[in-house]
Amino acid sequence: MVHVTTSTATGTATAGSALPRTLLTALPTLAWGSTYVVTTELLPPGHPLFAGLLRALPAGLIALALTRALPTGAWWGKAAVLGVLNIGLFFPLLFIAAERLPGGVAATLAAAQPLIVAVLAVAVLGERLSVWRLLWGVVGVLGVGLVVIGPNAALDPVGVVAGLACAATMGLGLTLTKRWGRPSGVGPMAFAGWQLTTGGLVLLPVTFLVEGAPPSIDLPAAAGYLWLGIFGGLIAYVLWFRGITALPTTSVAVLVLLSPLVAAVLGAVVLGQTLGAVQLLGFGLALAAIVAGQLPAPRRVG
């Protein structure tokens, strides 16, 4: 068993390491962009909690088995809070939104996260409110909306609430992760394992109480759960939490705009959906917002 202390290791990326770290941190958002296609095309419908459970708990237990590191002291409570926010609430809300809304609407609601983080950074981290970040966050949401929302998009109330709550819980989880950092001596895999396991344990009783018996799983569904658990869960969160501790909070938050863009590309490639001039304009706006989010805000003169 590894004994860890509670000193934080939040570090700031140097100029030379910022780009590689940013690219690695962006990889999870690419995997998460596949969630919409995998959920609608491979997974059995009507079981979003079960999907979240299989995405979290097995991956978390694998991480714990590999690292053999458990929280100590105050980190038991902190890991529980982060696990509930980043996993236990986020996963089922994500799948509920994905099932009850067109992928484009769900993705656009989730794209509001940078705006939420920009505000939380002031309240939780004590940062100054950045109009620059807020404006580019709005541009990013607008861009994503142009890419993925079709003219006949339906707005299911439950799905809308789930999508907004999904963005809020992930935004708060990201901000608290930045505030608390990681315990010294604990790597990102162990840190991810704590949260995936905690979130999975929270989901376990709720899943069976709400949804009852698990659905039958055929080969495509098994492949979908495996993809979401390993690539969209374990590997993605190891890279994500590593990036949060090394990069500015708002820079990490804006990277989530890549997920709906990837979802749109997969929709075009896998489902035969078309991308017209409006969608391409949206791509340009969203990518501009992502790049601007990695740059320091301009300083006021005078």
For residues 130 and 3, give the distance between their C-alpha atoms in angstroms, rounded to a whole number: 39
The predicted-structure confidence for 162-188, as pLDDT tens digits, reads as follows: 888 888 998 899 899 989 988 888 999
pLDDT number for residue 298: 67
The predicted-structure confidence for 276-300, as pLDDT tens digits, reads as follows: 788 788 888 888 888 887 777 666 5
For residues 228 and 48, give the distance between their C-alpha atoms in angstroms, rounded to a whole number: 13
For residues 143 and 150, give the distance between their C-alpha atoms in angstroms, rounded to a whole number: 13
Q: How far is residue 141 from each of residues 144, 158, 261, 269, 285, measured CA to CA in Å?
A: 5, 20, 11, 23, 9
- Name 2's bridge partners: 69
The predicted-structure confidence for 75-89, as pLDDT tens digits, reads as follows: 999 999 999 999 898
Closest CA to 171 of 242, 243, 86: 86
For residues 159 and 109, give the distance between their C-alpha atoms in angstroms, rounded to a whole number: 10
Phi, psi of 241 (to 5 degrees): -70, -30
The predicted-structure confidence for 203-238, as pLDDT tens digits, reads as follows: 999 899 988 888 999 999 999 999 989 998 899 999
The predicted-structure confidence for 102-129, as pLDDT tens digits, reads as follows: 656 766 777 788 888 888 888 888 877 7
Q: Are 283 and 261 in contact (CB under 8 A)?
A: yes
User: What mean pLDDT, rounded, does the chain reach?
Assistant: 82
The Cβ of residue 210 has, within 10 Å, a number of other Cβ atoms equal to 13
**DSSP designation for 213:** S
